[in-house]
Amino acid sequence: MEKILLRSIDIPDSHTLQVYESCGGYRALRKALKEMSPEQVTEEVKASGLRGRGGAGFPTGMKWGFVPKDSPKPKYVVCNADESEPGTFKDRLLIERDPHAIIEGIVLASYAIQSHTAFIYIRGELAYGAKVLEAALQEAYRAGYLGKNILASGYDLELILHRGAGAYICGEETGLLSSLEGGRGWPKVKPPFPATHGLFGCPTVVNNVETLVVVPWIIDQGASRYAATGTEKSKGTKLFCVSGHINKPGVYEVEMGYPFKRFLEEDCGGVPGRRQLKGVIPGGASMPVLRADEIDGVQMDYESMQAAGTLLGSGGVIVMDDSTCMVKAAWNIARFFAHESCGQCSPCREGCHWMEKIFARIEKGEADSGDLDLILNISGNIMGRTICPFGDAAAMPAAAFIKKYRDEFEEHITEKRCPLR
């Protein structure tokens, strides 16, 4: 498989402009600015079938197409580098090793929607990444890939790096925009959507780091080459971040549609020692867990994961072997969401903590038989009833853990202790 996303990260000094250019960097930008109209860039991305890699999988070209062309307001492109989904560390790798690919992707996206100011919103904790990006920005400005009259094309773009202050919710695109505007990182009610009323009320495209890194490749190599990879509906390759009880953890670039079981057992070397696989979360902590017996036949693409009752999400693969207490795992995830809820919507603000408290009681052996159905009911009352997808993100794993490992939860309740401790 030809690597698209991790095409140059193993080359020494891959983060520098010199190395990036020597590998064909900024060739796509030159091509776009010299030979392509903004509409053609958007059409090319549409034709590639690229879907957003932030988690939701929305078609990227279509997103760009929603930006009104005749708006008198300024337009913005925002790169979402607020990678904070537990189990996810793919964007960080790209930021640290291939910052110019991100910058080139942003310039292309900005050109496509005719934006003249773009932002990178980077998670506050990624201090080193921010440093690398800042240095790359300076290089790009000096080389004329950013700023006024880029590559003598007459096109201008200012690109500003902004560090977040550390909140999971700022990874949600409208929460990110609120934060970037200087306010609390509160997701905004939709409609209106960012494409028409985004940053400072202006038309805005928010794209994930991984999404933007693909764009130069598509422009350089052509949409049809990209569309030839992956499955019918999930094109291209995707990064997966493998962590937990696995022999070879790390970031993997995988062609969409690759068999999940083979990936875990062969590419990642399987579960260490003589332990057995107990469960795996395929797309970051907010996605429903799969039992070991559920991964047979599942492919690593949007549709197959959905058919299996979970979602591809961010590609954060969290592997758990049979030493894992699933109650504790569920509690851990619930605690994360209870802490990170932005606090706006009643169901999420109150419900996440409520579920967390019940999970804690189950793990401590202080729960009774009604508590499992209570959590299922609470998660159902959060699901789909909040401003942003955070409510779903908290509700889905809570319900999935109970549904899939109900025996283990009931054992905790009847034995009034954690049987794995």
Partner 1 sequence: MDSVKLTIDGREIVTTKGKKIIQAAAEAGIAIPYYCYHPKLSIAGNCRMCLVEIEKMPRLQIACNTDALEGMVVLTQSLKVSEARKSVMEFLLINHPLDCPICDQAGECWLQDYYMQHDLSDSRFEERKEPDRKREIFGPYVVFDGERCIKCTRCVRFLQEVTHTEELAVLNRSDDSTITLFPGKILDNPLSVNVVDICPVGALTDRDFRFKVRVWYLQKTPSICPGCSTGCNISVETYQNRIARFKPRVNEAVNSHWLCDEGRYCFHALTEVERLSSPLIRQEGGLVPTDWEAAFWAVLFGLAKAEPFAGLLSGRNTNEEAFLFGKLMKRLSPEPALEVVYRERELTDVEKILKSPDRSPNFRGARDMGASTNGGFETLLEGLLQGKFRNAYVIGEDLVSYAADKEKMLSVLERLSFLVVQDTHLTPTAKLAHVVLPSTHFGEKDGTYTNRKGRVQRLNAALVPPPGALHDWQIFARLLSDAGEEISYRTPAEIFQQISQEIPRYRGLSFSEIGELGVQTGDDRSHP
Interface with partner 1 in residues 138-177 (CB under 8 A): 167, 169
Per rule CB under 8 A, is residue 315 in the interface with partner 1? no
Shortest separation between residue 391's beta carbon and partner 1, angstroms: 9
Please pick, from the candidates 100, 288, 344, 396, the single residue that binds partner 1 as defined by CB under 8 A: 344
Q: For the chain, percent helix, then strand, then coil, each to nearest 5? A: 45, 15, 40
Among 162, 184, 233, 364, binds partner 1 (CB under 8 A): 184
Q: Which of 125, 267, 350, 410 binds partner 1 (CB under 8 A)?
A: 350
CB atoms within 10 A of CB 151: 16
**Does residue 196 interact with partner 1 by CB under 8 A?**
no
For partner 1, the closer CB: 21 or 350: 350
Q: Which residues contact 94 (CB under 8 A, 6 or more apart)?
A: 5, 9, 101, 102, 209, 210, 213, 239
Q: What angle do CA 340, 398, 408 make, to 5 degrees?
A: 135
| E strand or H helix that includes residue 297 | none
| CB closer to partner 1, 203 vs 351 | 351
Verify binding: residue 341, partner 1, rule CB under 8 A.
yes
212 sits near partner 1 (criterion: CB under 8 A): no
Query: For partner 1, which stretch binds (CB under 8 A), given 59-67, 131-139, 243-251, 346-354?
Result: 346-354
384 forms part of the interface with partner 1 (CB under 8 A): yes
Q: Phi, psi (5° rounding) for residue 251?
A: -100, 125
Binding segment (CB under 8 A) for partner 1, from list 60-68, 138-146, 284-292, 332-340? 332-340
**357 binding partner 1? (CB under 8 A):** yes
340 binds partner 1 per the rule CB under 8 A = yes
Residue 196 has φ and ψ, to the nearest 5°, of -110, -35
In Å, how far are 261, 313, 358, 365 from 306, measured between CA atoms?
16, 10, 28, 34
Q: Is 353 in the site for partner 1 (CB under 8 A)?
A: yes
Contact segment (CB under 8 A) with partner 1 among 20-28, 108-116, 268-276, 349-357 equals: 349-357
Burial class (CB within 10 angstroms; exposed 0-12, middle 13-18, buried 19+) of 266: exposed
By the rule CB under 8 A, 345 interacts with partner 1? yes
Q: Is 201 in the site for partner 1 (CB under 8 A)?
A: no
In terms of Cβ atoms closer than 10 Å to its own Cβ (0-12, 13-18, 19+), residue 331 is buried
Q: How many residues of this chain bind partner 1 (CB under 8 A)?
A: 30
| Span near partner 1 by CB under 8 A; candidates 14-22, 51-59, 118-126, 337-345 | 337-345
The contacts of residue 180 (CB under 8 Å, 6+ apart) are 78, 119, 121, 162, 199
Q: How far apart are CA 286 and CA 297, in angstroms?
A: 22
Tokens 């009320």 identify what position? 201
Q: Are 215 and 193 in contact (CB under 8 A)?
A: no
Q: How many residues does the chain have?
A: 421
- Of the ranges 55-63, 74-82, 238-246, 355-363, which one interacts with partner 1 (CB under 8 A)? 355-363
Q: Is 343 in the site for partner 1 (CB under 8 A)?
A: yes
Q: How many CA atoms does the CB half-sphere of 99 hold within 13 Å?
A: 24
191 binds partner 1 (CB under 8 A): yes
- Selected from 27, 30, 385, 403, the binder of partner 1 by CB under 8 A is 385
Alpha helices in 143-289 (DSSP H): 173-180, 194-197, 209-221, 223-227, 260-262
Binding segment for partner 1 (CB under 8 A), chosen from 42-50, 81-89, 201-209, 378-386, is 378-386
As a whole number of Å, the CA-based R_g of the chain is: 22
Q: Is 265 in the site for partner 1 (CB under 8 A)?
A: no
Q: How far is the CB of 71 from partner 1 (least distance, A)?
A: 20
- Quick check: 381 binds partner 1 (CB under 8 A)? yes
Residues within the interface to partner 1 (CB under 8 A): 167, 169, 184, 189, 191, 338-347, 349-354, 357-358, 361, 374, 381, 384-387
